[in-house]
């Protein structure tokens, strides 16, 4: 396309007409096309070239994906990353034999083929394990990280056929029955982790549990008297809890704490625990060695009995 326009000639002082042409028009003429015109053949060639590039890119990406999948499948079924070590962390209440009996890792199992959910479920079968996390540590180690429960109290559970006798049952703070505590020198005791007896000796004892209370390993306690006693002890601060020798759980309405100084505290339900505790501590501070009984079942109306 030729563009014409008038301009002023500075030498002659007259108006002259000049013309200009676009570079693209000149190239179009050299290529045999009409300047400024539409060339269907050229457009089709460009589209064909773009399509080929697009398809080439798709083929390259597809080839990479197929190669990765094939490599992953091959790696999964190969013996690469075979488990050669199982490292256990956090287990104290179970002996090595007891813990190893919970699960097994078959020879030849790899880190990729190990079913961690099945392994976790197997370990959680024991009451001592509160939670477990299993980690693959490449190239060949399976790490089992365990969080255990500990003994919150020892509950004197009456025999079903003789209420005058009882079995000492360990119970966790969440109310889960852990195990009956046998004699340390018995055959069962000799095969029990020493830390269990240490915790049992130091734990709070809950006595006067009603006849008919049922305890079974790895089940939750459904006796409201025992649960009320646990809730009270769990909510107390160190100042009072360390003074408790036993807890009488004959009635959830009148749960009683026996202190190591001989004072009996009728605590009642596990309500307003901190307020009740402060009242008890204040009376003990105010009347040292002069009180034998404190009743804080109604926290704003406490009563006490002094020593004669």
pLDDT digits (tens, 9 = 90+) for 207-239: 999 988 999 999 999 999 999 999 999 999 878
Same domain, 141 and 268: no
Do the Cβ atoms of 200 and 157 come closer than 8 Å? no
Q: Give the contacts of 103 (CB within 8 A, at least 6 positions apart).
A: 119, 122, 123
Do the Cβ atoms of 240 and 281 come closer than 8 Å? yes
Taking the C-alpha atoms of residue 196 and residue 192, their distance in angstroms, rounded to an integer, is: 7
Q: Which of 123, 148, 173 is the last residue of a domain?
A: 148
Same domain, 298 and 161: yes
Q: Which of 148, 175, 197 is the last residue of a domain?
A: 148
278: containing domain: 153-306
Task: Please give the share of the chain, as a percent, with pLDDT higher than 70.
Answer: 83
Q: Which of 117, 148, 179 is the last residue of a domain?
A: 148
Q: Would residue 212 be called left, alpha or beta, if left means φ above 0 and alpha means ψ between -120 and 50 degrees? A: left
CATH code where residue 100 lies: 3.10.20.310
Is 227 a member of any domain?
Answer: yes
Give the torsion sign (CA, 146, 226, 243, 303). Answer: positive
Question: What SS3 class is residue 130?
Answer: strand
Same domain, 106 and 165: no
Residue 262 predicted with pLDDT over 60: yes
The structure's pTM equals 0.74
pLDDT score for 181: 96
Taking the C-alpha atoms of residue 34 and residue 27, their distance in angstroms, rounded to an integer, is: 10
Rounded to 5°, the CA angle 298-301-303 comes to: 95
Same domain, 158 and 141: no
Same domain, 132 and 170: no
Same domain, 181 and 257: yes
Residue range 150-185, pLDDT digits in tens: 999 999 999 877 777 899 999 999 999 999 999 999
Is 229 a member of any domain?
Answer: yes
CATH code where residue 197 lies: 3.40.50
Least confident among 3-7, 104-108, 146-150, 263-267: 3-7
- Nearest residue to 204 (alpha-carbon basis) of 163, 165, 156: 156
Same domain, 160 and 300: yes
Same domain, 181 and 252: yes
pLDDT score for 2: 46
Same domain, 116 and 133: yes
Same domain, 180 and 299: yes
Same domain, 161 and 216: yes
Taking the C-alpha atoms of residue 280 and residue 282, their distance in angstroms, rounded to an integer, is: 5
| H/E segment holding residue 49 | helix 40-77
Taking the C-alpha atoms of residue 238 and residue 195, their distance in angstroms, rounded to an integer, is: 22
Is 16 a member of any domain?
Answer: no
pLDDT score for 17: 60
Same domain, 114 and 172: no
């Amino acid at each position: 396309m030729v563009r014409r326009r008038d301009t002023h000639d500075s030498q002659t002082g007259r108006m002259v007409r000049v013309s200009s042409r676009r570079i693209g028009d000149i190239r179009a003429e050299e290529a045999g096309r009409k300047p400024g015109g539409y060339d269907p053949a050229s457009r089709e060639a460009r589209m064909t070239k773009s399509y080929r590039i697009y398809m080439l890119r798709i083929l390259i990406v597809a080839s990479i994906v197929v190669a990765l999948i094939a490599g992953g499948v091959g790696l999964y079924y190969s013996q690469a990353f075979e488990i050669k070590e199982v490292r256990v962390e956090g287990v104290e209440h179970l002996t090595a034999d007891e813990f190893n009996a919970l699960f097994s890792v078959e020879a030849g199992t790899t880190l990729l083929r190990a079913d961690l959910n099945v392994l976790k479920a197997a370990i959680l079968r024991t009451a001592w394990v509160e939670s477990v996390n299993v980690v693959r540590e490449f190239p060949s180690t399976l790490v089992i990280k365990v969080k255990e429960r500990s003994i919150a109290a020892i509950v004197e559970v009456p025999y079903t056929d003789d209420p005058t006798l009882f079995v000492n049952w360990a119970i966790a703070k969440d109310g889960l029955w852990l195990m009956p505590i046998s004699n340390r020198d018995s055959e069962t005791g000799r095969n029990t982790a020493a830390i269990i007896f240490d915790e049992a000796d130091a734990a709070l004892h809950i006595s006067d549990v009603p006849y008919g209370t049922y305890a079974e390993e790895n089940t939750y306690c459904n006796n409201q008297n025992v649960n009320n006693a646990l809730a009270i002890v769990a909510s107390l601060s160190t100042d009072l809890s360390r003074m408790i020798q036993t807890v009488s759980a004959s009635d959830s309405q009148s749960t009683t704490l026996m202190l190591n100084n001989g004072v009996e505290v009728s605590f009642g339900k596990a309500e307003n625990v901190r307020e009740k505790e402060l009242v008890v501590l204040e009376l003990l501070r105010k009347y040292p060695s002069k009180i034998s009984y404190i009743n804080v079942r109604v926290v704003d109306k406490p009563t006490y009995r002094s020593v004669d």
